[in-house]
């Protein structure tokens, strides 16, 4: 793996590195870790990389890695930069024969997302988008239960992602994470909805297997002086006639990362909370509520494949992130060896999820600006 972004003072880059190497399927071999060459060198030094594999720019990294013999060069690029710097390195990497893992949202706008999709199609290379919450074992169990018909026809979906860390004006106080996430030139057209609303959209579609077709969005910027939305409420219509509510907020004072989802069908319901990830609650009118636990009892093959340690030992954010990298790595390894890929390991978000994420953002904004009640999903 080569990495673009993820310098010493970055949050998500370190998460990617830990997740990627957790199962010993991936080795970090090079990087262009910062737009500042000195910071890139310092990061490479702290990661014990050879100085000649630490680059000043991603363009230099891709060019020089391509010149190395096969077996010595990087096999794929992991992009962990702010949103506006996702498309250029992804495009260049794909055009030079390197597979890509990219943080979400995939690009800064839908136009770039569609352009990237075309390049992926033309090159035939692998593209993985790190919607990491899909990696939790109980999320995969929920998806498998719905596929198996345990809930019957899906009728209602409620997905929420409240945070409180942007309840005050931290944007210009030296908080690097707040600084770029609230800047339209680096984050894109949406703030809260682009940062965490896309996770809610993705999780709802991943678990249910249903696509959103229409939305009615109400976005708000509560903190004076902030340029992008910090709170949003969205009504959803799904392709089978199911209806839903999506709520995302970064000004919910006192909240940490209370990402949760409730799904109701004609036969029963499911409930999952990211802050208690090892538990999935299955409810029916006849039997009441039953707790399904990671690693306990008869679970789906997908859930078992995403579980590393015995029941009762918490598996959390890093492990879910690692499951995305694990599946990508095994898929890539099989392809490189000319082998058939186990379908279980094809379960990682890709280019389609990336396009739908950007379409969700743009539809939210269009709906918020419209006087019509419903706005068709932009894709």
Q: Provide the pLDDT for residue 332.
A: 98
Q: Provide the pLDDT for residue 173.
A: 78
Do both 143 and 288 map to the same domain? yes
Do both 123 and 147 map to the same domain? no
Looking at the structure of the chain, the number of domains it has is 2
Q: Report which DSSP code applies to 196.
A: I
Point out the domain boundary residue: 74, 100, 129: 129
Q: Provide the pLDDT for residue 370.
A: 97
What gap in Å lies between CA 162 and CA 145, rounded to an integer? 26
Query: What CATH number is associated with residue 23?
Result: 3.40.50.720
Q: Provide the pLDDT for residue 174.
A: 81
Q: Provide the pLDDT for residue 314.
A: 85
Point out the domain boundary residue: 100, 129, 158: 129
The whole domain housing 167 covers: 136-311+353-369
Q: Provide the pLDDT for residue 238.
A: 98
Per-residue burial over 100-130, b if 16 or more Cβ lie within 10 Å, else e, is bbbbbbbbbbbebbbebbebbeebebbbbbb
Do both 86 and 209 map to the same domain? no
What gap in Å lies between CA 144 and CA 148, rounded to an integer? 6
Query: What CATH number is associated with residue 170?
Result: 3.30.360.10
Q: Provide the pLDDT for residue 108.
A: 96
- Taking only the tens place, the pLDDT of each residue in 217-251 is 999 999 999 999 999 999 999 999 999 999 999 99
Token duo for residue 154: 């899906």
Q: Provide the pLDDT for residue 358.
A: 97
Q: Is residue 377 part of a domain?
A: no
Q: Is residue 93 part of a domain?
A: yes
Do both 188 and 297 map to the same domain? yes
Q: Is the pLDDT of residue 315 over 90?
A: no
Cβ burial of 231 (10 Å; 0-12, 13-18, 19+) is buried
Q: Is residue 83 part of a domain?
A: yes
Mean pLDDT of the chain: 97
- Taking only the tens place, the pLDDT of each residue in 158-209 is 999 999 999 999 887 788 899 999 999 999 999 999 999 999 999 999 999 9
Do both 142 and 66 map to the same domain? no
- Taking only the tens place, the pLDDT of each residue in 52-89 is 999 999 999 999 999 999 999 999 999 999 999 999 99
Point out the domain boundary residue: 109, 129, 149: 129
**Tokens 């990671």, residue?**
294
């Amino acid at each position: 793996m080569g990495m673009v972004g993820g310098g010493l003072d970055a949050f998500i880059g370190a998460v990617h590195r830990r997740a990627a190497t957790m199962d010993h399927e991936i080795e970090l071999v090079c990087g262009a870790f910062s737009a500042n060459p000195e910071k890139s060198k310092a990061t490479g030094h702290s990661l014990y990389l050879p100085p000649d594999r630490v680059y000043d720019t991603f363009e230099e990294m891709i060019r020089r890695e391509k010149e190395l013999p096969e077996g010595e060069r990087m096999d794929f690029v992991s992009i962990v930069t702010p949103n506006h710097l996702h498309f250029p390195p992804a495009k260049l990497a794909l055009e030079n024969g390197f597979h890509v893992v990219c943080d979400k949202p995939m690009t800064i706008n839908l136009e770039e997302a569609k352009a990237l999709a075309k390049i992926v199609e033309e090159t035939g290379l692998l593209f993985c988008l790190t919607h990491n919450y899909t990696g939790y074992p109980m999320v995969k169990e929920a998806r498998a239960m719905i596929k198996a018909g345990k809930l019957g026809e899906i009728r209602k979906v409620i997905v929420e992602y409240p945070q409180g860390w942007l309840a005050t004006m931290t944007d210009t106080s030296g908080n690097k994470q707040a600084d770029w996430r609230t800047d339209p030139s680096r984050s894109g057209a949406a703030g809260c909805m682009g940062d965490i609303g896309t996770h809610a959209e993705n999780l709802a579609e991943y678990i249910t297997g249903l696509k959103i077709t229409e939305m009615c969005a109400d976005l708000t910027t509560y903190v004076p002086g902030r340029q992008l939305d910090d709170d949003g409420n969205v009504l959803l219509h799904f392709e089978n006639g199911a209806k839903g509510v999506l709520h995302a907020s970064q000004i919910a004072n006192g909240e940490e990362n209370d990402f949760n989802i409730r799904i109701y069908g004609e036969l029963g319901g499911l409930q999952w909370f990211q802050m208690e990830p090892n538990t999935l609650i299955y409810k029916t009118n006849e039997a009441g509520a039953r707790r399904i636990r990671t690693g306990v009892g008869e679970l789906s093959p997908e859930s078992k494949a995403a579980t590393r340690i015995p029941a009762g030992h918490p598996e959390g954010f890093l492990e879910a992130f690692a499951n995305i990298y694990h599946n990508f790595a095994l898929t890539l390894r099989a392809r490189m060896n000319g082998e058939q890929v186990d379908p279980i390991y094809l379960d990682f978000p890709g280019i389609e999820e990336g396009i739908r994420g950007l379409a969700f953002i743009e539809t939210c904004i269009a709906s918020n600006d419209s006087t019509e009640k419903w706005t068709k999903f932009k894709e």
